[in-house]
Amino acid sequence: MKAQQICDLLNEASALDPEGVRNMFLHAFPITDELSNHPTIPCFGSEECPDGIAKLRILGLLNGIAAIDGELIMMREDFSQPFPCVEFHVVDRAMRSNAE
């Protein structure tokens, strides 16, 4: 599955349940330090977390998959709706790295 297909599915899910999808993607799950050091899965390392426990969000795991094709899935919150919802977009990982 390509990153654009993942984004299309996520945007469809977000349209059906904006609050549920937003909450799911904002939640960070505790993980091991070994996983937090994975080369393509973006995580929060234990040194970045106030409780000292490394964390992973679902978007980080999906970006580990998208990285295989050199892509990155970005999540943007839309506050123009009654409940803030999220939208997902694909960007080229190299372009994102050059912009930072």
Tell me the Ramachandran region of residue 86: left when phi exceeds 0, alpha when psi lies from -120 to 50, beta otherwise: beta
Q: What is the pLDDT of residues 19-43, one digit of tens each?
A: 999 999 999 999 999 999 999 899 9
Q: What is the pLDDT of residues 39-85, one digit of tens each?
A: 989 999 989 899 999 999 999 999 999 988 889 999 998 887 777 78
Structural domains counted in the chain: 1
Residue 81 domain boundaries:
3-99
pTM of the model: 0.80
Euclidean distance between CA atoms 37 and 43, whole angstroms = 8
Residue 44 contacts residue 55 (beta carbons within 8 Å): yes
